[in-house]
């Protein structure tokens, strides 16, 4: 199978998955207890007003028609009006998405190279002290839920030592240094797990590749060690680890919800929790679908990259 047809097949699969996921999201949220019209107008609304609004919003129509309307306007960029904020969902999402992306990338920039580098070090020093220390570290770091890491970080670095602010709300006019200072604790709590996973994966695959016949051959034909590692070991060892990056981005979607709530950070995750608490259906639907989309694309990207880097899967 050529690379192009592989991409096409994966894209088709992605579209189908997202369609099914959108049905899932729609049916889970549309049957929420509580009536959307009542939520918009409040409990003091007269029955006539409610009936008019329901008519306007088309709430009485069959579910399939409602779903089609929702999906087609979603694809056209109209994400509906938030019942709680009384504002278009799209503009709400845009701001929060930027904030979440900032938090996520701040951490990923640290976690991915850090995890890879440490993983390579541990893998190449397999069985020695460095390896044991790093492996011990991953055991703790990978196991801790984000809000536990966050809570401990806040107590130690903020309450006890006073180095960082305990809340991380960032405002539009803030300078870069201030923003980094505020982002530091949430970014670390969000990415500690990811760093640990990257390290673990990279270590395991470096060890595996180092033991393979073609690396032995490369060593035996007298290539310098540096050449063996950079030219033969790392590209292959990166493959499985890159798949983990995609998983991590999915994991991050959950992590963001937790970390943003923990640090009071104005991102997508906190908006989702707010929307759920207020049963703001259009907002819940939009955020869920956006997150599912990002997740799906991350998976696709990882697959493509994996195929691109590992010659065995490319030519097969």
**Least distance (Å) between residue 115 CB and other proteins:** 18
Q: Considering the complex, what minimum distance in angstroms separates the CB of residue 227 from other proteins?
A: 32
* Cα separation values, 94 from 27, 172, 189, 275, 286, Å: 25, 14, 24, 15, 11
**Which C-beta is closer to other proteins: that of 182 or that of 232?**
182
Helix/strand/coil (H, E, C) string of 61-127?
CCHHHHHHHHHHHHHCCCCCECCCCCCEHHHHHHHHHHHHHHHHHHHHHHHHHHHHHHHHHHHHCCC
Closer by beta carbon to other proteins, 112 or else 290: 290
Q: Which is nearer to other proteins, 45 or 144 (CB)?
A: 144
Q: Measure the CA–CA gap between 272 and 253, rounded to whole angstroms.
A: 11
CA–CA dist 140, 261 (Å, integer): 23
Cβ proximity to other proteins: between 51 and 157 the closer is 157
Cβ 186 to other proteins shortest distance, Å: 13
Q: Tokens 């991380």 correspond to what residue?
A: 168
Within 8 A by CB and 6+ apart from 112, the residues are 194, 198, 245
CA–CA separation, 254 vs 195, rounded Å?
16
Residues contributing to the site for other proteins (CB under 8 A): 17-18, 20-21, 24-25, 28-29, 31-33, 139-140, 142-148, 151-152, 154-155, 158-160, 166, 250-251, 253-254, 257-258, 261-262, 272-273, 276-277, 279, 284, 288, 291-292, 295-296
**Minimum distance, C-beta of residue 276 to other proteins, in the bound complex (Å):** 5
As measured in angstroms, the least distance from the Cβ of 142 to other proteins is 7
Q: For other proteins, give the closer residue by CB, 235 or 250.
A: 250
Pair of tokens at residue 8? 């096409």
């Amino acid at each position: 199978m050529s690379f192009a047809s592989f991409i096409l097949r994966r894209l088709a699969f992605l579209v189908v998955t997202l369609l099914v996921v959108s049905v899932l999201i729609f049916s889970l949220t549309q049957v929420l207890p509580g009536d959307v019209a009542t939520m918009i107008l409040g409990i003091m609304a007269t029955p006539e007003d409610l009936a008019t609004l329901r008519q306007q919003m088309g709430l009485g129509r069959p579910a399939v028609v409602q779903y089609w309307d929702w999906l087609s306007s979603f694809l056209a960029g109209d994400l509906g009006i938030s019942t709680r904020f009384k504002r278009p969902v799209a503009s709400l999402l845009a701001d929060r998405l930027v904030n979440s992306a900032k938090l996520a990338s701040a951490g990923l920039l640290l976690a991915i190279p850090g995890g890879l580098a440490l993983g390579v070090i541990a893998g190449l020093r397999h069985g020695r002290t460095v390896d044991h220390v790093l492996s011990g570290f991953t055991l703790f770091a990978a196991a801790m839920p984000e809000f536990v890491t966050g809570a401990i970080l806040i107590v130690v670095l903020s309450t006890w030592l006073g180095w960082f602010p305990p809340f991380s709300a960032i405002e539009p006019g803030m300078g870069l240094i201030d923003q980094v200072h505020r982002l530091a604790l949430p970014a670390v709590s969000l990415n500690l797990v990811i760093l640990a996973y990257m390290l673990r994966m990279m270590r395991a695959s470096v060890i595996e590749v180092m033991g393979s016949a073609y690396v032995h051959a490369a060593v035996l034909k007298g290539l310098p060690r540096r050449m063996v590692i950079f030219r033969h070991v790392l590209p292959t060892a990166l493959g499985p680890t890159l798949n983990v990056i995609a998983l991590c981005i999915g994991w991050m979607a959950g992590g963001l919800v937790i970390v943003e709530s923990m640090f009071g950070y104005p991102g997508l995750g906190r908006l989702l929790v707010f929307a759920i608490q207020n049963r703001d259906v259009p907002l819940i639907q939009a955020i869920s679908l956006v997150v599912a989309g990002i997740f799906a694309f991350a998976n696709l990207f990882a697959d493509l990259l994996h195929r691109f880097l590992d010659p065995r899967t490319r030519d097969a």
